[in-house]
Structure 1
């Protein structure tokens, strides 16, 4: 039960949180649409009778029959605006306009077809020209969508003013309307407009002139180019020939391969290179082209420096009938002697020209015998390997080393004691230590310093390979461990030494490699170390 709205009788509802007024106007597709309010302030229901849409439709469609009195008027139907009734409904007309051409003497005008779109929604019109490939004219939208003025009185073009067979002027350009689509025709007839007969759009004479006639080819009975391409594609005649140029200075006989392409009667000449023949490594002497028999049989006015010879200037070209084994051809001033051909070429001449003799021609002196390269004598500067690299290549490379041997014998050194064999009395008591490196076969000599000897000790010979005396300079022989026996005399750079002793590692290493160490060398080491063992035992 409600209390009177008096002071002291008003109470606030703690559950109520909304006090705004509901919207009664909304937007749909950019237009105002009224909406009937259902809730009041704060979301309370409105205390009035609300009818649904079904009830309203039933009341609008019900026509009661009264026995007396005047019948009530039915409620008016819902109003539908034009932007809703004619939404996405467009009238389409096909037409054209003529464009005058002043710059060309071959044509006077051009026919440019267009499509006229009339939008019933807002009575706007747009004109679009279909794009044609390679037309050379900017095409597309000629007039964007807008209401087009009809005259100077402020009137606009309407769909009632458009019909087939008439001319419409938009912004000073006259368009002839010829056809329309089915929807446009039905719409105009439903509105009581009699649509005229459609007309054909005339053809553009310029576009008709650009269209090539349909290719019609009747293969003649004789051999034509198309048949030659279809039957002779990838079929090549191969001839082996030589160019004899020994009449000129430094001339020789050089081998070539001549290819004759049956598909287009072109010729290619390739050179056959051999290792170290002294010629530039260019494989093609003459690129693929048609060769005339006489290149000079042209008019003097022909610009041969910028144009190639064609069938209009030359009428006599090389053909397969001009090639045979033993024939000499003069091509660009060179004499080419054909001495052989491949099996496919022989089969071709058997089937086409009935040639059966393919005996090859013996050609002597096709390739000149090149002299063998001789290395200059060794000059004594540096090692022999370094000097040889400067003769083998323009940019000398360091000689290759045996890295496997260097890794296996790394740190392995054979040491020998020696004295100098010299007629000078001051060299009698000089003692030396000879070190032999197994990794690179280099020797080093060291002289232990002696007190009051009058000779400074130290390094006597830097690490180097020592050549045996009397061997040739170009083919030197170097000292090896097999030459270093006890009591042996060796000559190192004009100094003679006598080996007197060796350490135990030398004997052990030589016994492990006894397959290439002489037995006499091993016996000298065994006797020496055997005497030392006996002395130590006593």
Structure 2
């Protein structure tokens, strides 16, 4: 500011400017502390704006560009564009999305793109501050945008009809009432003259039904002619322009030369007048979707084509449009001459495998002249590939069986990969044992022992049905006995019990039931002998060792180790022992992921939990707790989060105590706590490495059998043989 003498007149040349000669006009740096971080800000900004969720002075004073970062209000609206060049419509309605950025008050308008619309769509107004109409210093603010209001952006009037849930909640917290959504107007305002039938609108039909095709399957029986046969056809009806095309389905090696098309794409007339060429004459009515259905016969220029079946999209279209419910397919007539020719065709026989490379690779080289990679089961790979924690890998602990006493101490892990039915063997090396750990046998298909390898057909291989505890596998002339399995393998086999008989509790119980029923007084003596083997304080529980001994006495060699383990896991009881190893294992994995993601905002999480607990009971539903954790951006995936929520303490309504969650996430101490040194060592020894981030606990079967308990009463109740006692008495 220039300093002047008040006695001198305010005229040019009578004042003194102190800025003359100054070269630096920078803004004075003003530092402040926000969340213990020194930041350079401009004090002229409004730093006292706080969210309306909390009262003033309950949250730190932050500038708007920090407090409202990535906070965007989204409105839906439309504007009308006049159509002067068209008589059939006065204007067209164009739908847009209006985005209001809270951090700086800018606005962006985008029109969603529609295929084949013929309009230039996308960003209509780039992100910028927009002035109010007839104003030079006022801009649109959050108070100017709401459902039902009309706003003018650069001469275009936009009508707001809806908003998203975040915008509605934000405006309600500001005390702004948000009306209900307004229905969209008609896309095109059409004006028809009274008394006249509206003209067809092919362009509208094209926009509504583009890329929607009805597909039928049918046949044309041409056996009445010489050398005629049954032609299998595929009929396509295009809803966009009411045209049809027909393709002929030819089986491989049929000897028939495939033509380009049975019928090229065109409007198929229902009836062709005689002596009228296709290029002239009166137009006839063509087939419509109402004329097509399963069992219908269409006339394709004199050829009668019968429709026998259709695809799922076509069924849904007729169910919604015409109300059809019966889509039973029709039988296709069989051409005996063609079938007899196919039956007499010799099956291709490959030369015997010479042992070089894999069998699939050698077979592909024999099928084609040009070498190609072997085809794998892609659908099985898609369904059985690793998805999150579901690795689809069955892991088993194994011992090497031979006459060498030094191999008795060696410990192996056999992995069965369900995606391609391959087996890999890995050795866990111990210090000073003389054996280096690592890959013992690389991952590949493993064939059964004592089979002839050099044959035309591929020899049988080990499948997932052969993977069960107690079984012996011969891999490259080494015999392995499976002695244990990890938790994931046992759980996977129990969930798919129809595929794995060793994990099917119903089949195992039926086997025990038939054995006891075949013995005289078998069930009565069985119950009486082990009646006193239950715990004195809890009559329904029995030790696993005693339970296994009881089953071995009646079943002898009829049950495998895997079946014993399945029953123990199904009927296991809980006498009050601590289940902390699994909880601490999951806690270690969560600690590893949160440390890797640099997350440490427990205070904000506690504030959100207290705010969500409106009743003050100290518990929250699992779904609500999951939303709060995701809102606080915990750097763990959904599978690990679900595992964490499963091990937390719950009340009788299955609501989770969030104080237990805060204790679970307290990583000031070491990740694994409340464990003795021996339990901690055992946990680390049998737990998978944290780098795999897998929430599976490698179970120690010997410890489980020595220290576990089963529910004896539940076992007898499911056995359901009380009628034998009454009959024998």
TM-score (norm 2): 0.23
Structure with greater strand share of residues:
1
Structure with greater helix share of residues:
2
